[in-house]
């Protein structure tokens, strides 16, 4: 049997350290960082700051930090609504060797938006983006790689939503991306054009730590390849959150197992599952198909019960 449940506990562990609330700061609605900047003043366009952490402290809640040029801008701990934006000036990186690159412990209605960042753990840091609380998380146009646990950890203790688009999670020792909420948090999210490559698990969605009414994730136009364990794994347990994942217009290839459901529901449509040791599998879960998938060319195409359902 494929074991993916324990990874949720790991996701929880890396969010259990250092998540203390901080007062919401006053500041500018828009601040700036530059590789030639200095951490001082108000981080204006004319006098930008050097790091995301310093700029965050000068930015009003709900404001925006803009990147002016390529540089390593260092880790940041986010406690309120913010946007950190690189709109194509070059590689705006966060390179760390310990801990998390970005830790998010925001308010229950806060929205955090991260765009255009390259986040690297250099084989030593724990997680790229660790989302512990907040109303909504948006990640787009990012690369997250080389972390010892997971590239992206979405493990809130309160209800919320998330979206990840046009993003690569690769070469992480645990998960490329893991969703594992706590308590009674109702969480829903969408992954679009996400590439999970060369991790232990590509994408893991687990309801094993929450008694919420539901945990739902939709994955579209994405790729999961060369992950040594599972391309997409979804799991829960009796008495815990009913957990469901839909995969559409996606490719799972050259993984240990392409798609796997463990005491949870996985629905797949218009997708390709090929070149894996096991194409699709279940253990106490439900695997449904719209009947329009290409599941072939695997060592074992199907080790579970694949139920065909109709479109509506």
**Within-domain flag for 1:** no
**Residue 103 within any structural domain of the chain:** yes
Show the domain range for 258: 6-12+24-308
Q: Quick one: average pLDDT of 285-303?
A: 95
Predicted model pTM: 0.94
Assign 250 a pLDDT band (cuts: 50, 70, 90): very high
Grade residue 18 by pLDDT with cuts at 50, 70 and 90: very low
* Residue 273: partners with Cβ closer than 8 Å, 6 or more residues away: 251, 252, 253, 258, 259, 279, 280, 293, 294, 295, 296, 298, 301
| DSSP assignment of 119-148 | EE-TTT-SEEEEEEE-SEEEEES-EEE--S
Supply the pLDDT for residue 233.
97
Residue 19 domain-assigned (yes or no): no
In sequence order, what DSSP letters do the residues of 248-280 get, joined into one string? ES-EEESSSEEEEEESSEEEEES-EEESSSEEE
In a domain, 31, yes or no: yes
The answer to whether residue 18 is domain-embedded is no
pLDDT, tens only, 58-116: 999 999 999 999 999 999 999 999 999 999 999 999 999 999 999 999 999 999 999 99
End-to-end CA separation in angstroms for the chain: 34
Please check whether residue 17 lies inside any domain of the structure. Answer: no
Over residues 265-272, the mean pLDDT reads 97
Q: Is residue 249 part of a domain?
A: yes
Q: What is the pLDDT of residue 23?
A: 46
Question: Does residue 24 have a pLDDT over 60?
Answer: no
The tally of domains found in the chain comes to 1
Residues 79 and 58: their CA atoms lie apart, in Å, by 13
pLDDT tens for residues 130-187? 999 999 999 999 999 999 999 999 999 999 999 999 999 999 999 999 999 999 999 9
**What is the C-alpha to C-alpha distance for residues 131 and 302, in angstroms, rounded to an integer?**
34
Query: Does 224 reside within a domain?
Result: yes
User: Which CATH number fits the domain that encloses residue 70?
Assistant: 2.160.20.10
Mean pLDDT computed over 204-226: 96
- The answer to whether residue 41 scores a pLDDT higher than 90 is yes
- Give the pLDDT of residue 105: 97
pLDDT for 19 equals 46
């Amino acid at each position: 049997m494929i074991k993916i449940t324990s990874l949720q506990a790991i996701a929880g562990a890396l969010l259990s350290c250092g998540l203390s609330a901080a007062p919401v700061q006053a500041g500018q609605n828009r601040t700036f960082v530059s590789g030639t900047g200095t951490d001082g003043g108000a981080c204006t366009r004319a006098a930008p700051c050097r790091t995301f952490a310093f700029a965050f402290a000068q930015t009003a809640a709900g404001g925006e930090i803009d990147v002016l040029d390529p540089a390593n801008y260092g880790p940041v701990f986010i406690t309120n609504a913010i946007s950190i934006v690189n709109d194509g000036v070059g590689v705006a990186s966060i390179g760390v060797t310990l801990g998390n690159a970005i830790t998010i412990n925001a308010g229950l209605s806060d929205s955090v938006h991260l765009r255009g960042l390259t986040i690297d753990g250099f084989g030593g840091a724990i997680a790229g983006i660790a989302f512990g609380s907040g109303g909504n998380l948006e990640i787009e146009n990012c690369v997250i790689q080389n972390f010892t646990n997971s590239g992206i950890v979405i493990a809130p203790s309160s209800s919320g939503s998330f979206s990840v688009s046009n993003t690569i999670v690769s070469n992480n020792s645990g998960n490329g991306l893991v969703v594992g909420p706590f308590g009674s948090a109702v969480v829903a999210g969408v992954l679009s054009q996400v590439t999970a490559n060369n991790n232990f698990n590509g994408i893991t969605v687990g309801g094993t730590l929450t008694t919420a009414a539901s945990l739902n994730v939709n994955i579209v136009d994405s790729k999961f390849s060369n992950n040594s364990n599972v391309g997409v794994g979804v799991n829960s347990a009796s008495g815990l959150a009913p957990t469901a994942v839909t995969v559409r217009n996606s490719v799972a290839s050259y993984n240990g197992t392409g798609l796997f459901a463990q005491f949870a529901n996985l629905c797949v449509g218009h997708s390709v599952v090929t070149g894996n040791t096991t194409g699709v599998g279940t253990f106490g879960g439900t695997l449904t198909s719209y009947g329009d998938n290409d599941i072939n060319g695997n060592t074992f195409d199907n080790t579970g019960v694949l139920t065909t359902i109709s479109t509506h």
